[in-house]
Copies of this chain bind each other. A is one copy, B any other.
Amino acid sequence: MKEQIEEANGKLGILIPGLGAVATTMIAGVEAVKKGLAQPVGSLTQTGNIRLGKRTENRYPKIKDFVPLASLNDIVFGGWDVYSDNVYEAAVNAKVLELGLLQPIQSELEKIKPMKAVFDKDYVRNLDGKHVKEAATKYDLALAVMEDIENFKKENDCSRLVMVWCGSTEKYIEEADVHQNIYSFEDGLRNNDPLISPSMIYAYAAIKKGVPFANGAPNLSCDITALVDLAKELGVPIGGKDFKTGQTLMKTILAPGLHARSLGIRGWFSTNILGNRDGLVLDDPDNFKTKEVSKLGVLEDILQPELSPELYGDLYHKIRINYYPPHGDNKESWDNIDIFGWLGYPMQIKINFLCRDSILAAPIVLDLALFFDLAKRANMSGIQEWLSFYFKSPQTAPGLRPEHDIFKQLIKLQNTLRHIMGEDLITHLGLDYYQDLVESL
């Protein structure tokens, strides 16, 4: 297996629809890291270690020294946006990073100019950009994106590409007939079916060009049967949905812990305040719905109320997102969790997370780009469930329940890496450290 992984030679192009707060924070960060100005904290591929073999072997290499990933120095960036600001301007507007950090990399960032976007105001009512493609049909738009992809690859002399959707959250829709197979989908493209959203068009174009596609927003995008099948058929890795950051990250850390201890949960109230453009888009109820659905599923999967109705059967789960301009990108969440323990006695947990949304999301974009590129080179196609670790609402094989427990997700990710590199999987059994015991077993 290990021998079959293609090496990471040549340049890797990371293509991003949506050069907003998250994308520009990621790009600026990579440039700053390359210049030694800052550390890629929060990125597993850059700073994480992986244990190999037995505890006593003491083997903990960096992940990037263990699996063959693209080097930061081989990365080039491109993207699309409905506003024509270059990445420097967009980063300044996003107000995530300080000017002192952006200035030394200004020239690198200014060079990255968005291509014209595939956009449909009906999917994002609170935005109003003019830097958009015009064409008679959605199919023509898809062709235009494919052309962009090809041009970018040539102009930047890339050996490989990967695409990560960082565009705004689109309004809520559910999978429908048009999404059922590639024929109905391509018909829909040609007929301008209103149920085909811009993010689906990018995903279709990427898959058709053999470019791995990851979806950082909660809208469907590549999570429809037509595109899942197409990806498998063409051998392209895909995955989504919705970067796991902030409150949901915390929830998928904490809920497994409470569940581990068989503590009951009566209610979980989650509120968020944020003031960036993402918050503005989510202020529209249709777009909020997409996010809400993505965030709500988490607890049910982790707690499995059907197995323990006495602990989780009556759980009342409520999520609120509030647009609050004074906080800008500094999203803040407050959770009130009503738990109960021995004999039903109630207790409470309150969590106030003063986070920075894009700071948490940026390293995820980088990791996904690098791991999806690895997956491609390792001939792994279709949905990459082993990368669930990064998503609020992971895509899975049809019929499989998504795994939300971040610790199981991490083990899955690490054991997948061990597996493809021919190392033993880790079970944490460890009875062998207790020799007498083992003999007695």
Point out residues on A near B: beta carbons under 8 Å: 1, 25-26, 29, 32-33, 38-44, 46-49, 55-56, 60, 97, 101, 232, 249-250, 252-254, 256-258, 260-264, 266-267, 269, 271, 273, 304, 307-308, 310-311, 316, 318, 320, 322, 324-327, 332, 334, 336, 338, 340-345, 347-356, 359-360, 362-363, 378-383, 385-386, 389, 396-397, 400-401, 403, 406-408, 410-412, 415-416, 419-420, 425-431, 433-434, 436-437, 440-441
A41 touches B340 (CB 8 A): yes
Count the copies.
4
Closest residue on chain B to residue A362 by CB atoms: B342
A360 touches B348 (CB 8 A): no
Q: How far is the CA of A391 from the CA of B437 in the complex (A)?
A: 20
B360 touches A342 (CB 8 A): yes
Considering the complex of A and B, which 4 residue pairs feature the smallest CB-CB distances, nearest first?
Answer: A253-B257, A267-B326, A407-B407, A38-B343
* Nearest CB in chain B: distance from A341 CB, A: 4
18 contacts between A and B (CB under 8 A): A39-B343, A39-B344, A42-B262, A101-B343, A249-B261, A250-B349, A253-B257, A262-B363, A267-B325, A271-B334, A341-B363, A348-B354, A349-B352, A350-B353, A379-B440, A385-B433, A386-B431, A419-B429
* Nearest CB in chain B: distance from A158 CB, A: 24
Q: Please, which residues of chain B bring their CB within 8 A of the CB of A254?
A: 253-254, 257
- Given A260-B410, A381-B440, A416-B429, 4 more pairs with CB closer than 8 A: A55-B401, A253-B257, A316-B326, A351-B351
Q: How far is the CA of A258 from the CA of B55 in the complex (A)?
A: 21
Closest residue on chain B to residue A346 by CB atoms: B356
* Nearest CB in chain B: distance from A296 CB, A: 15
B308 touches A47 (CB 8 A): yes
